[in-house]
A and B are shown apart, each in its own frame.
Chain A
């Protein structure tokens, strides 16, 4: 180790590996991962969310999973819980759509209306 900058760099890299292990107060993004969700393609959606959140270095966001949300025909389903706000349910998700949700909803606070359950047929 030749300098403090070198240590800081290692720390920054390493932090990304371990920051999942903190308690957080912020937004929770939950992916329905029951049999129905998984077979409809929830796993790539989940991984896309994890990657996107990590890439944008969103500190206070948890990506988690849950069981069957109940509307199996609209799977994969993603729900966003923000403190003090109504829960938002997105349906028929894909990895691409998931990335857009992170960008527009999580970062900019604008719900992507066209993916929400209200607009589903």
Chain B
């Protein structure tokens, strides 16, 4: 076996890949070859480290030096200084990792300090394309334990006792789902994995598949053993090419090592997996639509019951769990139900992965114990709001969720608390908004998304959400009338109670929750024809104040020649001609142009 004195871990998640980690890897390859270090230093492409904001990220062991925002030009310096001469290149380290000249371990950085990684434990630690690295970190030990030491009933009992709930959004107790499928009658059963992650801004499942695909494979094999299935399907969207690629490599390697296939661990248990690619329709994340899509039919939901546990794929009992749910399973089997149940709150056990985005300093992926407060996530782990702006609300649960305002920042995050606040856990997207965000506009954005993604099967969702969007368009364009808000509320309640599937039943949530906490913003739009955050173009006008020095820059910037005025004299905007593009405001060096 080759020995390496240093390991250079390069993030190969989608985030860092799009910010150039691939060319950094190539540059390292060249630099190492040039300095004759290829036999001493090992390059490892890993999954997501979570701190996407600071990407591309490179970590060098054994020192654990955490380099952030690395460019191809930096590679030569890291190679010559750190790898060749052992001098850590301090100015390239993640800013928080340098404190009083002491280089702290990455685990002490604020972003990681409060995190607890269960589902993400291997992401950014192992090479996802090498099964032996997964095995080194206790991989497939849980499968071995389940197959050789536990009965099928014991496996189900362990999952039930752990308190694990579905991480895809609904929060249904996972153990119960397993039990229903186990008890269902059928000559053939299936297990399936929902990797059709569609919430805007959410990328938890993608990161697990990219960083630790074997965890999902192992968990699905355990689930197959428990419920009595020998075939599994992973439904993943084609828009996740890196995840699909690594998952396929992982499946092939697992087959090669006999961890998938016939007679696993000599116990007579057979199990195999296949990938099914989705075309990226949001509705296919709904379980019955997903099953239809796997079967090759049009991805549309059907009424439940019968639930998939009774009649799923090809009318056979089918267990369907989400990627993150599966990623927890091997750890629960290995460490026991009590261990898992000791993390989290009374009714929400374990940890949850969140994709943090929007107006936040540390955009990225994090995993926290349930019960951590929103404030801790946003202001400690997330590093707060950029540019000294005021926090306004946080959106959780994507297009099915809602906005939570500042007064509830100290709420501990769990399934039930978020529902009580009119939002939901969802799959774990978390979008932070500051004073510059208009809540009516946010609601409009999410509704626009659901209108686009509605499959059209049931009228409440197909027609109702469209009507709601029209009302919101009207309000944000400044044409709102008295009674519009009440109409929105009535429509929302009707759509919620009469839609066929989860997509329609939750589609009005962004509107309802913003109405609940920010009704005054809706009223300002309708009654005063004013957008308090200054976002809705239709309600804004641009003015030039006395601070104008007559530099004429704005007249040159204006695309419609709406600004006139003498050189060195006060300029004016013709509001009839103005198209409210904002170009003049960006150009003015004296901050003389305002919008209100």
Interface residues of chain A, those whose CB is within 8 Å of chain B, are 1-4, 7, 10-11, 13-21, 23-24, 30-35, 38, 43, 46-47, 50-51, 54, 62-67
Contacts and interface: CB of A to CB of B under 8 A. Distances in A.
Interface string B132-144: 1101111111001
A30 B85 CA distance: 11
A32 B133 CA distance: 31
Contacts of A21: 7, 9, 61-62, 125
B265 A54 contact: no
A30 B126 CA distance: 25
A1 B245 CA distance: 23
Contacts of B63: 64
A1 B5 contact: no
A63 to B, nearest CB: 6
11 contacts: A1-B258, A3-B266, A14-B133, A17-B1, A20-B61, A24-B62, A33-B84, A38-B84, A47-B3, A50-B3, A50-B5
Contact of A33 (B86, B107, B148, B266): B86
Contact of A18 (B5, B136, B148): B136
The A contact surface, by secondary structure, is helix
Contacts, number: 97
Contacts of A43: 40
Given A7-B140, A23-B64, A23-B107, A17 B84 contact: no
A13 B2 CA distance: 11
A7 B265 CA distance: 9
Contact of B5 (A3, A14, A46): A46
Contacts of A19: 136
A20 B62 contact: yes
A14 B136 contact: yes
A18 B258 contact: no
Contacts of A7: 135, 140-141, 144, 265
B105 interface: yes
Nearest to B82: A65
A14 B7 CA distance: 14
Nearest to A1: B258
Among A3, A18, A20, A67, the most chain B Cβ lie within 10 Å of the Cβ of A18
B440 interface: no
B264 A35 contact: no
Interface string B493-527: 00000000000000000000000000000000000
Given A14-B133, A20-B61, 5 more contacts: A10-B135, A14-B136, A30-B86, A33-B85, A47-B3
B259 interface: yes
A56 B430 CA distance: 48
A19 B107 CA distance: 17
Contact of A20 (B1, B7, B135, B141): B7
Contacts of A24: 62
Given A63-B62, A67-B87, A17 B144 contact: no
B85 A35 contact: yes
A1 B259 contact: yes
B144 A4 contact: yes
B590 interface: no
Contacts of B445: none
Could you say which of B6, B85, B258 has the most chain A C-beta atoms within 10 Å of its C-beta?
B85
A4 B85 contact: no
Instruction: Kindly name the residue among B1, B3, B125, B257 whose own CB sees the greatest number of chain A CB atoms within 10 A.
Output: B3
A2 B258 contact: yes
A110 to B, nearest CB: 25
A47 B39 CA distance: 10
Contacts of B40: 43, 46-47
Nearest to A32: B86
A59 B137 CA distance: 15
Contact of A17 (B62, B132, B138): B132
